[in-house]
């Protein structure tokens, strides 16, 4: 009787050790201390708010950024907050395996006062765990309604991400490539030249599994040019087609693997090592979000050597790029000091400097990104498509069909299936079956 339990416990334990490198899709495995220099004070926008200095007490914040707790960045944000509210105190608790641990915390009620809302939580569950935030916080803010239910907003985004090709300019120079690719042909051409120069053209991180989301659910909506793609997919018994965004992305990924334009050993998880390879120019490109840029710089690259452009998925020259929110931050419904918790949340996302330090784009629509990479990206003038939360039915069908949205496991299979059509048909079969089983 005991042995299987032991196994289950071991399973859970091992999982919690592992998922740290698996599940944090949007902010990566941010273990790079030391990339937090300088820019903290630039976002400061203080003054004029003198009359509120009466908030006091102690609140606790749960966060996935264990690195920012360890290197004192959080403490720095708190000092700045205390200039405004001298009697306020904030304690920080970092969860290494945030994405799964926070669900247990919510279930048992040990959520602290301020926390990141787990991605994928159905909107209808929000009022159970979170306090509505005042509408005044959301002026000019991206994704204001992504964590809203019945007209009330429960979370505010902690950063705006986009996605594209992060590349090493030195490596491009060495291979004789004059400029970053803007069309699919140019991308293929660049890959060919890089390979000839003995450089790994694109580090796909196939073995780490989660980065594979870029070749599927992480990109399909903007390639399709449809922010609400998941709602359409939920109504479609065969959403994976060669001609649509899924097929386009998978074909490019398959071409890269077929031509040897990616790392050779596909199945070893080399995530930490790959950052160094991009930084040193042994590998040239990543197809990931802007959040990875500070990490590549932290791994030893000079900022001016790293560039960032939209992913050229076709030859039209007019590209779409996504805008996605990082974790949403909210105030726990159990909080005893909600006023202070709300003030801290507002300060944290708008004034602390966290957004810029993490390499995100500003959460205010009127602000321009400061980092040179994001400026380069915006100069390419892509059409930004604001991502919407996944349709609830879409999520249910995917779970039932055991298609791991956000995990990348099914994309691994798709990119290595014998031919593209067969791989897509396999997904359609599972999808259709789950859809009928659920009665949608």
Residues that bind another protein (CB under 8 A): 1-5, 7-8, 10-11, 14-15, 17-19, 22, 100, 103, 106-107, 118, 120-121, 125, 128, 207, 209, 264-269, 398-400, 402, 404, 407, 409, 412-413, 416
| CA proximity to 329, closest of 44, 59, 55 | 59
CB nearer to another protein: pick between 142 and 271:
271
> Which spans in 85-146 are helix H?
98-108, 126-129
Any idea what the Cα angle at residue 250 is, between residues 248 and 252, rounded to 5°? 70
**CB 412 to another protein: min, Å:** 5
Burial track 164-177 (b if 16+ CB lie within 10 A, e otherwise): bbbbbbbbbebbeb
CB nearer to another protein: pick between 205 and 352:
205
CB nearer to another protein: pick between 126 and 187:
126
Bridge partners of residue 268, in order along the sequence: none
CB nearer to another protein: pick between 3 and 318:
3
**CB 71 to another protein: min, Å:** 25
User: Helix, strand, coil proportions of the chain in percent (round to 5)?
Assistant: 45, 15, 40
CB nearer to another protein: pick between 78 and 403:
403
**CB 17 to another protein: min, Å:** 7
Is residue 232 classed exposed, middle or buried when 0-12, 13-18 and 19+ CB atoms within 10 A define those classes? middle
**CB 249 to another protein: min, Å:** 19
CB nearer to another protein: pick between 15 and 432:
15
Q: What are phi and psi of 265, to 5 degrees?
A: -90, 95
**CB 250 to another protein: min, Å:** 16
Let me know: does 396 contact 235? Beta carbons within 8 Å: no
Encoded tokens for 419: 């031919």
**CB 135 to another protein: min, Å:** 27
């Amino acid at each position: 009787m005991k042995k299987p339990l032991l196994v289950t416990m071991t399973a859970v334990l091992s999982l919690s050790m592992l998922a740290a490198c698996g599940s944090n899709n949007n902010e990566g495995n941010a273990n790079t201390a030391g990339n937090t220099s300088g820019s903290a004070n630039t976002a400061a926008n203080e003054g004029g708010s003198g009359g509120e200095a009466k908030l006091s007490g102690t609140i606790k914040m749960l966060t996935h950024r264990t690195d920012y707790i360890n290197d004192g960045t959080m403490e720095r944000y708190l000092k700045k907050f205390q200039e405004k509210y001298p009697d306020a105190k904030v304690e920080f608790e970092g969860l290494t395996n945030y994405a799964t641990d926070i669900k247990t915390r919510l279930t048992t009620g040990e959520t602290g006062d301020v926390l990141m809302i787990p991605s994928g939580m159905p909107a209808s569950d929000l009022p159970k765990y979170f306090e509505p935030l005042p509408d005044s916080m959301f002026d000019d803010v991206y994704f204001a309604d992504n964590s809203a239910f019945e007209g009330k907003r429960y979370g505010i985004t902690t950063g705006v991400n986009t996605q594209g090709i992060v590349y090493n300019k030195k490596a491009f120079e060495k291979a004789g490539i004059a400029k970053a690719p803007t069309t699919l042909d140019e991308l293929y051409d660049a890959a060919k030249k890089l390979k000839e120069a003995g450089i790994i053209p694109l580090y796909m991180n196939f073995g780490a599994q989660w980065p594979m989301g870029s070749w599927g659910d992480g990109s399909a909506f903007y390639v399709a040019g449809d922010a609400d793609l998941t709602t359409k997919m939920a109504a479609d018994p065969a959403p994976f087609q060669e001609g649509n965004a899924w097929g386009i992305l998978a074909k490019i990924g398959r071409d890269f693997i077929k031509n040897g334009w990616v790392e050779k050993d596909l199945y070893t998880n080399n995530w930490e090592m790959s950052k160094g390879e991009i930084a040193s120019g042994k590998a040239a490109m990543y197809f990931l979000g802007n959040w990875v840029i500070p990490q590549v710089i932290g791994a030893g690259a000079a900022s001016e050597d790293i560039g960032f452009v939209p992913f050229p998925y076709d030859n039209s020259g007019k590209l779409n790029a996504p805008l996605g929110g990082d974790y949403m931050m909210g105030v726990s419904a159990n909080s005893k000091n909600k006023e202070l918790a709300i003030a801290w949340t507002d300060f944290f996302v708008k004034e602390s400097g966290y957004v810029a330090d993490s390499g995100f784009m500003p959460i205010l629509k009127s602000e321009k990104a400061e980092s040179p990479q994001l400026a380069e990206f915006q100069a390419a003038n892509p059409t930004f498509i604001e991502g919407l939360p996944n349709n609830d039915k879409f999520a249910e069908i995917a779970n039932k069909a055991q298609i791991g949205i956000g995990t990348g496991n099914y994309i691994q299979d798709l990119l290595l299936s014998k031919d593209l059509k067969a791989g897509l048909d396999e997904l359609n079969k599972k999808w259709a079956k789950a859809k009928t089983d659920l009665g949608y």
